[in-house]
Amino acid sequence: MVSANSKMRRRKVVQSKLEIAAAWIVKHLGPEEIAGPAVAQFRPIPGRRWSVDLCWPERRVAVELQGGIWAQRKDPVTGKRLGSAHTGRGHERDMEKLNALQIAGWIVLQFSTTMVNKDPHGVADVICRALKIRTEGAEKTYKQEERRVAHVKL
């Protein structure tokens, strides 16, 4: 895994345990063999402050890791448990990011901590399939999809 491109301001990249585990999967279970090392904390859309966790910019494939979906948070005043660490606004920001990336032509893959920890080979397989779509069989895949969609009556 390499750090973000030179167009970005250089900043210290702090990785969570989940990001370290995902980077290990990319390096040792196949994706790096297909597309080379992933770029960490890359800002794919100019003018946006957010970044993606891992990506292959030349193939427009991004990996987003959702680590806080099962964490509990507490109300700062009452101390009562409030549920997910992800707030409503956090979900909206994630949706905005996903929409912007998809409109820009990116394949965005999302994985939870459980998925990364319990099925690393499954995670690697999904990443490999996305990278292959963007390399060897892209034209064939797009044409097959166009034919399939053409036969669907709306």
pLDDT at 91: 81
| Statement: the pTM of the whole predicted model exceeds 0.75 | no
| First and final C-alpha spacing in the chain | 44
Domain boundaries, the chain: 17-150
Mean pLDDT by 10 residues, the chain (154 residues): 48 75 91 90 92 94 84 68 64 90 95 94 94 74 54 46
The arrangement of strands across the sheet holding 107-112 comes to: 39-42, 52-56, 61-66, 107-112
- Taking domain 17-150, whether its CATH number is 3.90.550.10 is answered by no
pLDDT at residue 16 in the model: 85
